[in-house]
Amino acid sequence: MAENLLKSLNSAQTRCVFHVVPCSIIRVLICLVRTGVTHRPDSPLQILAGPGSGKTKVLTSRIAYMILHHGMDPSSICAVTFTNKAANEMRARLVKLVGKDSVNKVKLGTFHAICALFLRKYGTSVGLDGNFTICDSDESKRIVTKLLKPYSDFLASNDIQVNAATLCSLISRAKSKGETPEDVIPRKGSRHISSKATSSKSTNEDFQRVFAEIYRDYEKTLRKNNSLDFDDLLLFGVRLFSQHPRYAAWCQHILVDEFQDTNAVQYELMCCIAAASRCVTVVGDPDQSIYGWRSADITNLGKMRNDFANVAQIMLEQNYRSAGSILATSLAIISQDTSRIAKTLHTDHPLGPLPMLSSFPTEHDEAAFIAWEINRMIAQSGGMLGFGDFAVLLRFNAISRTIENALRKEGIPNRMLGGHQFFERAEIKDILAYLQLVDNPHFEPAFSRAINNPSRGIGDKSLGEILSRAQTLGISPLTLVERIHDSIIPDLKPSVKRKVQSFVNVIRSLRSSATDGMEPAQLIAKLLERIDYQEHLKKSQPDWDTRWENVQELISFASDATADASNVPVVDGDESSLQDTPLRRFLQASMLSSAGDQSNENDNEKVSIATCHAAKGLEWPVVFVPAVEHGTFPFYRSDDIHEERQAFQRLLYVACTRAQTSLYLTHTSNRKVAGVSKSRDLSEFISKICSKHPPLFSDMPHTHSIQDLRLVARILDRGSRMPDELEVKRRMTMLCVVCLKSLEDCN
């Protein structure tokens, strides 16, 4: 088999590109023969792959194989990832395999990015302007907040409590199921959306009517603003490809990563793109489906087997990541779900120390233990492990405060993964608002943010006047203030003409520079100078220097986005699409940037704190999972307790399988929830497997004997960093000295 593969790789079809493929890569491809890489590309394939089984490697190798062996045109291949980060990772690996020119032709990105790419070019076919703005969740919430206001009395009088965030997530849920506002209008005998907002059937109907109206008006507002929210990108994508199949005719094969977390609309999108070829490869792990709350549909795997003919299924059950005992424990957790597709995992790695299961009186003791244990392990590993090798994975963000405090106390550098996102920061949104307005004058959220930022003396009353006058005249608020400025229409009351002068001048100057092709980084620099933004931050923000650094970071991001422009796949061989300007590309990259996309150089010298959801796809040598308690794992929110229970089981499984060499599960007998101390029981997912033989857990910390260290070195491929005994002794002595000193300080 391997010989055949070598022969075929050397065939006439591939000889032209063969010179770019080193022997090591061919060896990798040969190793992957049985993993789905070489499965014929003209038929659908499902690769069910367990954690740590090298899914990215399989997908990238399969794409390379299609190009190198089957001579497929790279521009006829579509590869979909769950995050931008995964897309970048795949792109970098593919460049090594097939070269940059070919990779740039592959349509590679998230579903959102791929839809945005085609909608920019062909959006007019589905009623869009090419300069639509992508509305982020914060802006959606502002729109819904405004729409909710007129209903507040009615809702209060009917004892219905609902806020904008809940409505936004209900709208998103409806959209991801493909439901329009008309579909959610209550009808006789129809099933209502389940919401904690209401208690009785009649209030439920009232609530649903309000919801349908707000959903309808939200859609109208977005269209008026020439804007799409994240769900719209997918819905309009489906509309584009289904109504105009010629726009997807280029696709000979679509490959989808993390298939278990696709929702109904994403599935439909995949089918539309594959309409002509019917060739799809999906890679996924039903055991790692953790985005049900975002409408991910685990049943898509079964649906695909019905919708496509002759779907082959391959299981990847070798885990390359974790020590044997970590796998055994993780499998025991997930195997309690008897309804799952039976799948096992094995590894060539040794068993290693058993995962530790430990109980503490309170969350403070638990956090102190984690901090102590990190320092101890680093010392006892003689420095082979560093802070960046540790992760604390949480069910809720809220638990992080105690952990962060404990780490800080011990001087342990840490970072919150996927915490407050870079593009959600106020200073970044301020700058983006100006640029959005330059690109799309109809985008009202950007206008409302920029007009009085920095302050120009335009308060809420004046802003309200501007917005309502613009609405009456059927023009955008920006056009209105430009016309007032140019004395084409009379001033408002209170007078705004003088106040908007500098604003209009800034926008016009930026617009003219953007039209002349000025790069986004320079546009930002120009904007900062024109509005004297640094001075504004100094006057208004105590932490202005950090915020100013963030703004500088945005300039770096903008120049990187420009440099990466060659990564944007070409649609239809037309490289100079009129709809695609450098500014638009930069704005799109900012809006589609997702959790964990930005990372700093020294991040790998810090302990990572992350939610279990944000940890998806990542790995660390040592993982702590605190609060493994009933009320956390599982935490019931909806009526469907059975489904929720399984979802939490999978979440715990995902968390445990992030660990490479050491896993710690901790729990407390008392934990403060909303300021009240409550007694807690060990999670049933663990208590039911605690007494298994041979045991799955130890109650002792990992000793890091010399054998343990060898194992760590082997799994992490750090043989060259094996410490000598003297170094271990030196570090342990230092740790004891520091410990004694802090005990003395306490006394």
Ligand X SMILES: Nc1ncnc2c1ncn2[C@@H]1O[C@H](COP(=O)(O)OP(=O)(O)OP(=O)(O)O)[C@@H](O)[C@H]1O
With contacts defined by CB under 6 A, name the span among 45-53, 528-536, 575-583, 631-639 that binds ligand X: 45-53
With contacts defined by CB under 6 A, name the span among 54-62, 156-164, 480-488, 634-642 that binds ligand X: 54-62
Closest approach of ligand X to the CB of residue 644, in Å:
22
Query: Is the CB of 79 or the CB of 481 nearer to ligand X?
Result: 79
Closest approach of ligand X to the CB of residue 346, in Å:
14
Sheet holding 607-611, edge to edge: 356-360, 659-668, 620-625, 390-394, 607-611, 414-416
Query: Of residues 264-303, which lie at the interface with ligand X (CB under 6 A)?
Result: 285, 288
**Cα dihedral 710, 711, 716, 717 sign:** positive
**Cα dihedral 467, 472, 476, 477 sign:** negative
Binding residues for ligand X, rule CB under 6 A, total 15
- Interface residue with ligand X among 55, 239, 667, 680 (CB under 6 A) is 55
- With helix as H, strand as E and coil as C, how does 76-128 read? HEEEEECCHHHHHHHHHHHHHHHCHHHHHHCEEEEHHHHHHHHHHHHHHHHCC
Q: Under a CB-based contact definition with an 8 Å cutoff, are residues 248 and 76 in contact?
A: no
Closest approach of ligand X to the CB of residue 55, in Å:
4
CA 305 to CA 317: how far, in whole Å? 21
Under the binding rule (CB under 6 A), the answer on residue 53 touching ligand X is: yes
Query: Is the CB of 285 or the CB of 363 nearer to ligand X?
Result: 285
Query: Is the CB of 118 or the CB of 259 nearer to ligand X?
Result: 259
Per-residue binder mask for ligand X (CB under 6 A), 620-659, x = binder: -------------------------------------x--
Under the binding rule (CB under 6 A), the answer on residue 52 touching ligand X is: yes
Q: Rounded to 5, what percent of the chain is helix, strand, coil?
A: 55, 10, 35
**Nearest alpha carbon to residue 66 among 250, 249, 283, 255:** 255
Closest approach of ligand X to the CB of residue 504, in Å:
50
Under the binding rule (CB under 6 A), the answer on residue 617 touching ligand X is: yes
Strand positions, DSSP E, 395-462 = 414-416
CA 656 to CA 557: how far, in whole Å? 34
- Residues that constitute the known binding site for ATP: 49-56
CA 171 to CA 561: how far, in whole Å? 31
Under the binding rule (CB under 6 A), the answer on residue 186 touching ligand X is: no
Under the binding rule (CB under 6 A), the answer on residue 596 touching ligand X is: no
Query: Is the CB of 186 or the CB of 388 nearer to ligand X?
Result: 388
3-state secondary structure at position 227: strand
The neighbour count for residue 426, using CB atoms within 10 Å, is 13
- Interface residue with ligand X among 99, 186, 320, 538 (CB under 6 A) is 320
- Interface residue with ligand X among 8, 33, 57, 718 (CB under 6 A) is 57
How many residues are recorded in the chain?
A: 747
Strand positions, DSSP E, 444-484 = none
Query: Left (φ > 0), alpha (ψ -120 to 50) or beta: where does 476 sit?
Result: beta
Closest approach of ligand X to the CB of residue 283, in Å:
8
Closest approach of ligand X to the CB of residue 33, in Å:
12
With contacts defined by CB under 6 A, name the span among 51-59, 105-113, 305-313, 470-478 that binds ligand X: 51-59
Which residue has its beta carbon closest to ligand X?
Answer: 54
The end-to-end CA distance of the chain, in Å, is: 71
Query: Of residues 546-585, which lie at the interface with ligand X (CB under 6 A)?
Result: none
Pairing of strands 414-416, 356-360: unpaired
Q: Under a CB-based contact definition with an 8 Å cutoff, are residues 251 and 274 in contact?
A: yes
Closest approach of ligand X to the CB of residue 201, in Å:
43
Closest approach of ligand X to the CB of residue 257, in Å:
8
- Interface residue with ligand X among 41, 44, 51, 582 (CB under 6 A) is 51
CA 671 to CA 632: how far, in whole Å? 11
Under the binding rule (CB under 6 A), the answer on residue 38 touching ligand X is: no
Closest approach of ligand X to the CB of residue 284, in Å:
9
Under the binding rule (CB under 6 A), the answer on residue 62 touching ligand X is: no
Under the binding rule (CB under 6 A), the answer on residue 88 touching ligand X is: no
Measure CA 509 to chain center: 35
The Cβ-side half-sphere exposure at 224, using a 13 Å CA radius, reads: 16
Under the binding rule (CB under 6 A), the answer on residue 61 touching ligand X is: no
Q: Kindly report whether the peptide bond that precedes residue 41 is cis, defined as omega within 30 degrees of 0.
A: no
DSSP bridge pairs for 571: 574
Query: Is the CB of 52 or the CB of 520 nearer to ligand X?
Result: 52
- Interface residue with ligand X among 5, 49, 265, 437 (CB under 6 A) is 49
Query: Is the CB of 57 or the CB of 530 nearer to ligand X?
Result: 57
Query: Is the CB of 93 or the CB of 442 nearer to ligand X?
Result: 93
Q: Under a CB-based contact definition with an 8 Å cutoff, are residues 325 and 692 in contact?
A: no
Closest approach of ligand X to the CB of residue 31, in Å:
6
Query: Is the CB of 81 or the CB of 646 nearer to ligand X?
Result: 81
Query: Is the CB of 519 or the CB of 597 nearer to ligand X?
Result: 597
CA 84 to CA 693: how far, in whole Å? 43
Closest approach of ligand X to the CB of residue 609, in Å:
19
Closest approach of ligand X to the CB of residue 288, in Å:
6
With contacts defined by CB under 6 A, name the span among 48-56, 132-140, 454-462, 493-501 that binds ligand X: 48-56
Under the binding rule (CB under 6 A), the answer on residue 321 touching ligand X is: yes
Helix 264-273 to helix 230-243 angle (10° resolution) is 30
Under the rule (CB under 6 A), what is the footprint of ligand X? 49, 51-57, 285, 288, 320-321, 617, 619, 657
